[in-house]
Amino acid sequence: MKTRAAARKKSPSDEWILRLYVAGHSARSAAALRNLEAICEQHLAGRYRIEVIDLLKHPQLARGDQIVAVPTLVRHLPQPMKKIIGDLSDEENVLVGLDLRPRLRRGGARS
């Protein structure tokens, strides 16, 4: 079901809002942002927005999105909300997590 939603053709107004929570300028945070940008450019070119939130500067913002692990990527739009934690180094997993690619166990039903 999740994969079907992603497979639907998106109108140009369908903007993706992605929020990346990091803690300071760690190597892991930097890698996560780099990986995210690369994935977005490739799959969502022209229709995504990335907000980077440094929790060291804005600790109060961790509460709203229930952040525990760092880095955490939160897909705010489109709905439903998705969370991916880690440095986003595994592109396949990130795509699955963002519903940009179906899960493998779904018998390879590609979009």
Partner 1 sequence: MPTRNRSRNVTRRRKPAPPSALAKVATGIDGFDEITAGGLPEGRPTLVCGGPGCGKTLFALEFLLHAAARGETGVFVTFEETEEDIIRNAASLGYDVPSLVKRRRLALEYIRVERSEIEETGEYDLEGLFIRLDHALRSTGARRIVLDTIESLFAGLTNAGLLRAELRRLFAWLKQRGITAVITGERGTDTLTRQGLEEYVSDCVIFLDHRVADQISTRRLRIVKYRGSSHGTNEYPFLIDRRGIAVLPVTSLQLIHTSTPERISTGLDWLDEMFGGKGYFRASSVLLSGSAGTAKTTLAAHFVDAACRRGERALCFQFEESPAQYTRNMRSVGLSLDRWVKKGLLRIHAARPTLYGLEFHLATMHRQVDEAGPSVVIVDPISSFTGASFDEVNSMVMRLVDYLKSKQITALFTNLIPGTGASQEVEVGVSSLIDTWILLRNAPPGEQGGRHLSILKSRGMAHSSEKRSFELTDDGPVVLSRSRGSNTARGVRG
**Rounded-to-integer distance, Cα 54 and Cα 21, Å:** 6
Structure-block tokens of residue 60:
């109060």
Pairing of β 72-77 and β 48-54: unpaired
Torsion of CA 80, 102, 85, 44, to 10 degrees: -70
In three-state secondary structure terms, 51 is: strand
By CB under 8 A, residue 42 contacts partner 1:
no
Q: Which one of 18, 71, 100, 102 is in contact with partner 1 (CB under 8 A)? A: 71
CB nearer partner 1, residue 48 or residue 84: 84
Choosing from 16, 18, 87, 102, the residue that interacts with partner 1 (CB under 8 A) is 87
Could you tell me which stretch among 8-16, 28-36, 44-52 binds partner 1 (CB under 8 A)? 28-36
Q: Answer yes or no: are the C-beta atoms of 39 and 91 closer than 8 Å.
A: yes
**Segment near partner 1 (CB under 8 A), from 1-9, 10-18, 40-48, 91-99?**
91-99
Binding site for partner 1 (CB under 8 A): 21, 23-29, 31-32, 35, 55-56, 59-60, 62-63, 66-72, 81-90, 93-94, 96-97
